[in-house]
Structure 1
Amino acid sequence: MTGDATQAAYSARAHEYAGLLGSIDHAAAPDISLITDWARGISGPVLDVGCGAGQWTQLLVDLGCEAEGIDPVPEFIDIAQTAHPEVTYRAGRAEDLSVPDGTLGGVLAWYSLIHADPALIGDAVAEFARCVRPGGRLALGFFTGPVLEPFDHAVTTAWFWPVDLLRREVEEAGFTAMHTETRTDPGARPHAALLATRD
């Protein structure tokens, strides 16, 4: 499915999605802890890429980050801005962050690449590398599995990524992976997180 088709699928269900998952209260406690620890070490602006309803961006701001959320779905930008009026949100895509080279302290891409065509995911990660300054940080959340394969996500097709395979994409783009973790919560698909530092 193309990026435009994914955007259209989320546009049609944005309010439903936000109602189900659009609060930080819906996030798993280990994820909040991980991102909190990650964010506290960042110096410089942070982009929450694929911010959806904006809850993670708000968390970053609450932690003292100079954070902005971007998303390709206009409905999500409206929802996020209404829910978090003190935070900045704008339209944007993972493969085009529209910031100068090396100006970001970090990029959070929490489940925002799960629908990306595996052949094109390198474009997004390369854009993150372009925008993050040396020593800056990247945090990814994604669905994991033993092989790279698609599955029927509630909104549109998503992908399971083996951790080592996504780590390779990240490191080929110019990051060094510092931490990975996986878990499977009751009733949920296998989750993985990857934290990396820009070379």
Structure 2
Amino acid sequence: MEASQRSGQTAARYSQVAEAYIDMFGSPEQAEAEDRELIAAWAAKLHGPVLDAGCGPGHWTQFIADGNRPSTGVDLVPEFLDFARRTFQQPDFLRADLAHLPFDGEQFSGVLSWYSVIHVPPSDLPPILDELARVLQPAGKLLLGFFAGDQPEAFGHQVAPAWYWPPAQLGELLEQSGFGVLEVGTRSRPAARTHGHLSAQKLS
């Protein structure tokens, strides 16, 4: 199966649960306080348009826009985009696959990819990271959220199969796509999956 077919299947599964997903995760206030603080601090250092790559219901896109930064969200799930357009007036929202972004190169000062590549198999991930690098300005910043684990390994996510990533190995993939890793962090909770984030900068 081609990567585009896999991403389309994942989007279709999210369409089936979109209403429940929006009820659970459709605003930044429903996220962990640590996530809000991290994303706010990251966005505060940016000077220019920001892309929310895999924006879901658009809540993080609006969160960034509230800091007076032009922001654009892209996603493949029509129901998420419909909700985002109805609910948030400031950002732009477009339907797009992360492997084929509808932008000319080097448009954005920052790209947020917050748990938007967790369903991407390891073989499909490098082209997506290349595409995120392509649309970033020189020295632009990337913030990537993921589930951290000891090895790249699939697990049974409620919507579609998802992947754990060792932070160091994911950082190596970012470096192969032209990034320099700036910060690595993880957060553990009892009886919950370990969350991770990587902050990186485009090197050229």
Under a length normalisation based on structure 1, what TM-score does the superposition of the two structures give?
A: 0.97
Query: How many residues are treated as equivalent by the alignment?
Result: 199
Greater than 4 Å deviation, 4+ residue runs: none
Contact kept, 8 Å, 2:70 with 2:91, in 1: the verdict is no
Q: Share of identical aligned residues, percent?
A: 39
CA drift at 1:179: 0.3
2:111 to 107, 113, 131: 107
Equivalent positions of 1:81-92 (< 5 A) are 81-92=85-96
Look up the match of 2:54: 50
The CA deviation at 1:116 is 0.5
TM-score if structure 2 supplies the norm length? Answer: 0.94
Could you say which residue in structure 2 is the equivalent of 1:196?
200
Equivalent residue in structure 2 for 1:7, among 11, 17, 40: 11
The residue that corresponds to 1:41 in the other structure is 45
User: Following the alignment from structure 2 to structure 1, what is the Cα–Cα distance between the partners of residues 16 and 98?
Assistant: 20
AA paired with 1:170? L
1:179 is matched with which residue: 173, 177, 183? 183
* Superposition pairs of residues 135-146 of structure 1, within 5 angstroms: 135-146=139-150
The structural deviation recorded for 1:180 is 0.6
Letter in 2 for 1:54: G
Post-superposition offset of 1:103: 1.6
Gaps of 5+ in 2: none
Map 1:11-160; keep pairs closer than 5 Å.
11-160=15-164
Write the deviation string for residues 1-58 of structure 1: whole angstroms up to 9, x where unpaired.
Answer: 8111101101111111111111111111111111111111112211101100111001
Bigger shift: residues 79-88 or 134-143: 79-88
CA drift of 1:183 comes to 0.9
What is the root-mean-square deviation in Å for CA atoms of aligned residues? 1.1
- What amino acid is aligned across from residue 52 of structure 1 in structure 2? G
Distance in 2 between residues matched to 1:87 and 1:135, nearest whole Å: 23
8 A Cα contact 1:57 1:68, kept in partner: yes
Cα distance in 1 for partners of 2:180, 2:147 equals 20
> d(CA) in 2 for partners of 1:64 and 1:184?
32
Deviation at 1:80, TM superposition (A): 1.1
Aligned-partner Cα distance in 1 for 2:50–2:98: 13
Letter in 1 for 2:97: R
Gaps of 5+ in 1: none
Q: How far 1:83 moved relative to its partner? A: 1.7
User: Do the aligned partners of 2:65 and 2:90 also contact (CA within 8 Å) in 1?
Assistant: no
